[in-house]
């Protein structure tokens, strides 16, 4: 079970892009991140101690690579890297260095750390390793190995906290992983969403060319634009049959005039007035509206044809 750790970061120059130091509680080690442009002018004492360092590079094709080394004076070794690059002795260009120093480190211990860092970085597979050779046959006591493995775990924590996932293994899929498929354009790939983003599974293939994009004079573009500009068809607002029946009754009622006082007499005592046909009764005979007030009260007057 992993336990929580307290990390203390200090922005020496007040900006995240400048020199940064990081420490863990109850640990005698220290991390120092320094940009390439500040190495020559740096006069700090802590960076001149014994430890290991990582030089982070970016290839022309955008791939990440790292050089891992050890030195009894890290600042002096970093300046040597700058000199070697000016003299064309180094082909890679690094932009940032992350150094780890400790009060109890010595030459044998930092050689072991260098070997283990190179080995773990290669296994993680996130960065290409530029280190050519290490002292893998360093002999240490069992207690020293245990102490350096703990030192290595703390290095991994601080590297991740500083934004470098060089020692974080790539997430593997399991039986419960939801795998997403992408098929098309002569490509077939599988992947899944992971805490680090999106992971593409091994065996996936990509297309060897990019799909053509639309241009204003492309007939496919013109066809797509014509479709998008077509007015949307309005949905029919014709009422349902039950609604149409009700509307016909309402329209018929509107055509009936309200009878005046002279007209308020029984139907057999006056001349029958033509009233619009509304609906048939139960025996098939039509009924007519006599008084609109009668209709409002739900009354019907039947007139036999």
Q: What string of DSSP letters covers 14-47?
A: SSTTS-EEEEETT-SEEEEEEEGGGTTT---SGG
Q: Which range marks the domain in which residue 254 is found?
A: 241-296
- Mean pLDDT calculated for residue range 187-212: 73
DSSP code string of 199-250: EEPTT-B--SSPPPPP-TT-HHHHHHHHHHHSPPPPPP-PPPHHHHHHHHHH
Residue 302 belongs to some domain of the structure: no
Q: Which bin fits 68, alpha (ψ -120 to 50), beta or left (φ > 0)? A: beta
Lowest-confidence pick of 92-106, 117-131, 180-194: 180-194
If one compares 60 and 11, the residue with the highest pLDDT of the two is: 11
Share of the chain above pLDDT 90, in %: 45
145 and 14 part of one domain: yes
pLDDT category at 213 given cuts 50, 70, 90 is low
pLDDT category at 211 given cuts 50, 70, 90 is low
Residue 176 belongs to some domain of the structure: no
72 and 96 part of one domain: yes
What does the pLDDT read at residue 21? 97
What does the pLDDT read at residue 286? 46
Share of the chain above pLDDT 70, in %: 66
pLDDT category at 272 given cuts 50, 70, 90 is very low
Given a cut of 80, whether residue 98 has pLDDT beyond it is yes
Kind and range of the H or E run holding 189:
strand 187-194
Given a cut of 50, whether residue 282 has pLDDT beyond it is no
Residue 20 belongs to some domain of the structure: yes
Residue 134 belongs to some domain of the structure: yes
What does the pLDDT read at residue 246? 64
145 and 290 part of one domain: no
Kind and range of the H or E run holding 161:
helix 142-161
215 and 252 part of one domain: no
If one compares 7 and 272, the residue with the highest pLDDT of the two is: 7
11 and 157 part of one domain: yes
Number of domains in the chain: 3
Kind and range of the H or E run holding 112:
helix 107-124
Kind and range of the H or E run holding 114:
helix 107-124
If one compares 23 and 187, the residue with the highest pLDDT of the two is: 23
63 and 121 part of one domain: yes
Residue 235 belongs to some domain of the structure: no
255 and 130 part of one domain: no
What does the pLDDT read at residue 225? 62
Sequence-distant contacts of 68-71: CB under 8 A, at least 24 apart: 68/114, 68/117, 68/118, 68/121, 68/129, 68/131, 69/114, 69/131, 70/110, 70/111, 70/113, 70/114, 71/110
- Mean pLDDT calculated for residue range 176-187: 76
285 and 212 part of one domain: no
Instruction: Determine the Cα–Cα distance for residues 195 and 169; give it in Å rounded to an integer.
Output: 12
What does the pLDDT read at residue 117? 95
Report strand pairing: 94-102 vs 51-58: antiparallel
205 and 245 part of one domain: no
pLDDT tens across 234-244, in order?
555 565 656 56
pLDDT category at 233 given cuts 50, 70, 90 is low
Distances, alpha carbon 97 to alpha carbons 81, 195, 217, 231, in Å: 11, 26, 51, 60
Given a cut of 90, whether residue 186 has pLDDT beyond it is no
**Residue that is last in its domain, among 180, 207, 228:** 228
151 and 195 part of one domain: no
Lowest-confidence pick of 21-25, 80-84, 97-101, 173-177: 173-177
**Residue that is last in its domain, among 173, 207, 228:** 228
Q: Does the model's pTM come out above 0.85?
A: no
Given a cut of 50, whether residue 270 has pLDDT beyond it is no
User: Helix, strand or coil for residue 86?
Assistant: helix
Given a cut of 50, whether residue 294 has pLDDT beyond it is no
């Amino acid at each position: 079970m992993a336990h929580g750790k307290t990390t203390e970061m200090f922005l020496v120059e007040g900006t995240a892009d400048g020199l940064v130091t990081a420490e863990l509680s109850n640990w005698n080690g220290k991390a120092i991140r320094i940009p390439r442009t500040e190495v020559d002018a740096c006069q700090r004492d802590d960076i001149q101690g014994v430890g290991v360092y990582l030089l982070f590079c970016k290839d022309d094709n955008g791939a990440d690579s790292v050089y891992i080394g050890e030195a009894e004076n890290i600042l002096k070794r970093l300046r040597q890297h700058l000199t070697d690059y000016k003299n064309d002795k180094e082909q890679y260009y690094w932009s940032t260095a992350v150094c780890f120093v400790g009060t109890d480190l010595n030459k044998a211990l930092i050689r072991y750390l260098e070997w283990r860092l190179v080995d773990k970085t290669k296994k993680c597979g996130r960065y290409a390793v530029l280190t050519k050779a290490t002292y893998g046959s360093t002999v240490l006591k069992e207690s020293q190995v245990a102490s350096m493995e703990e030192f290595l775990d703390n290095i991994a924590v601080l590297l991740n906290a500083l934004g470098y996932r060089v020692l974080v293994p790539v997430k593997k899929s399991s039986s419960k992983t939801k795998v997403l498929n992408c098929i098309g354009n002569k490509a077939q790939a599988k992947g899944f969403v992971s805490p680090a983003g999106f992971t593409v599974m091994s065996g996936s293939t990509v297309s060897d060319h990019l799909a053509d994009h639309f241009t204003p004079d492309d007939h496919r573009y013109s066809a797509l634009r014509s479709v998008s500009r077509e007015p949307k068809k309005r949905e029919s607002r014709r009422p349902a049959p039950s609604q149409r029946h009700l509307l016909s009754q309402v329209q018929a009622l509107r055509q009936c005039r309200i009878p005046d006082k002279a007209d308020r007499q029984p139907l057999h005592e006056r001349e029958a007035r033509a009233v619009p046909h509304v609906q048939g009764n139960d025996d098939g005979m039509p009924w007519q509206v006599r008084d609109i007030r009668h209709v409002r009260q739900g009354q019907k007057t039947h007139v036999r044809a």
